[in-house]
Amino acid sequence: MQVKPIKIGEIAVHNNVFLAPLAGYTNYAFRRLCKSYGAGLCCTEMVSAKGLKYGSENTKELLYTDDKEGVCAAQIFGSDPEIMRMACENEALAPFPIVDINMGCPVPKIYKNGEGSALLENPILAEKIVKECVKSGKEITVKFRIGIHADNLITEEFAKRMEGAGARLITIHGRTKDKVYAGEVNYKEIAAAKNAVQIPVIANGGVFSLADGEKLMKETGADGVMVARAALFEPQVFCVLTGTPTESTLTMFEKQMAWTRATCDERFTTVFMRKMAAFYVKGTRGAAAYKDRLFQAQSPEEILSIAKEIWG
C-alpha cells in the first residue's frame, strides 16, 4: 500500500492511514496507542455540539489530549449551523486544529434528531453547517456515507457540495446508512467522488489487513484509508499497514493500561481495559475462560495479572 504524507488545508499529516472515531473507544490513551503504531491521524469520539454549548462535563472529558499525542482531529455532530460553529470555537476544541463533522452516524437516536447520516437527506443544511464551521478558522473535514439506502446513492454530488462549502478533506464510508457496518463496500461510489473533487478523499470500510487496504486504495483511487473496527481487535494493524515495527501484545496492553490510568480514574480504567482485553484475547486458546475472569476483575492490577498469564 502506498503510504504517503497528506495535507489537510494547512495541516501536514505524516501519513494517509487514519484511525476512525469510535464511540466508547477512541479516548486519549487508545488514540495515542494507535499513533505510536503508525496511524497518521486519529480522531476523538463523536462529541455533541449542543453538549459543548451547554458545558457538559462528559463531553469535555471526551476531548482530553496533550502534546504527546500530536496532531489530532475532534469529531462533532449536530444539525444547527450556528451551534456547530460555536462548538468549533469552544475552548474545549482549542487543542484540535482539525474538526471533523459527522454526517454518517447510523444510530437511530442521532438520525431521528436530524443529525449524523440524516444530513445526507438534507444537503443544503449540510452545506450551511460546513460553511459556518469554516468561519471558526479550523480545518474542516467531513465524514459521510454513500447514502441512506441503495436506491438513492448521493456520494459524488454530496462530495462536491462539501468541497464547495469549504471542507478540506472528506472521508467516505462505502456503505449506506441502512447497512450500518455490514455488507460489501461500494468501491465505485467512492471512486466517483474521488474523481469529482480536488480535495483529499479518505476511503473507509472493511480494512482489516494489508490486502484490504491495498484493494480499497486501488479500487477507489482514494488518497488514504481509515481503519475502524479492526483497530479494536488489533491496534498494531497500523504497523502492518504502514511498516512500523510491532511489539508483543503484553507490551502493547501494558502501554495502553499505563496511559489510561494516567488520564482516567480507577473505575473507568478497570471497566475500559476489561473491554479492550476481551477484544485482544479473541482467537486465543481458552479465550472464553479468560474473558469470564477479565470481566470479574475489580482493579487494573488484577487485569494486568490476567494479561500476563495470557500473553506473558
Q: All 3 cell numbers of residue 216?
A: 480499497
Distance set, CA 310 to CA 286, 287, 302, 303 (Å): 9, 9, 13, 11
Q: All 3 cell numbers of residue 142?
A: 467531513
Catalytic residue ranges: 105
- Classify residue 67 by its DSSP letter: T
The 10 Å CB-count burial string (b at 16+, else e) for 40-71 is bbbbbbbbbbbbbbeeeeebbbbbbbeeebeb
Which residue spans within the chain are E strands per DSSP?
6-8, 11-13, 17-19, 42-48, 72-77, 98-103, 139-145, 169-173, 201-204, 224-227
Which residue spans within 201-265 are E strands per DSSP?
201-204, 224-227
- C-alpha–C-alpha distance, residues 198 and 83, integer Å: 28
SS3 (DSSP) at 208: coil
Q: What share of the chain is helix, strand, coil (3-state, %, to 5)?
A: 50, 15, 35
- C-alpha–C-alpha distance, residues 275 and 240, integer Å: 23
> Residue 202: phi, psi to the nearest 5?
-105, 130
Determine if residue 205 is left, alpha or beta; phi over 0 gives left, psi from -120 to 50 gives alpha, anything else beta: left
Nearest to 28, CA basis, from 57, 65, 55:
65
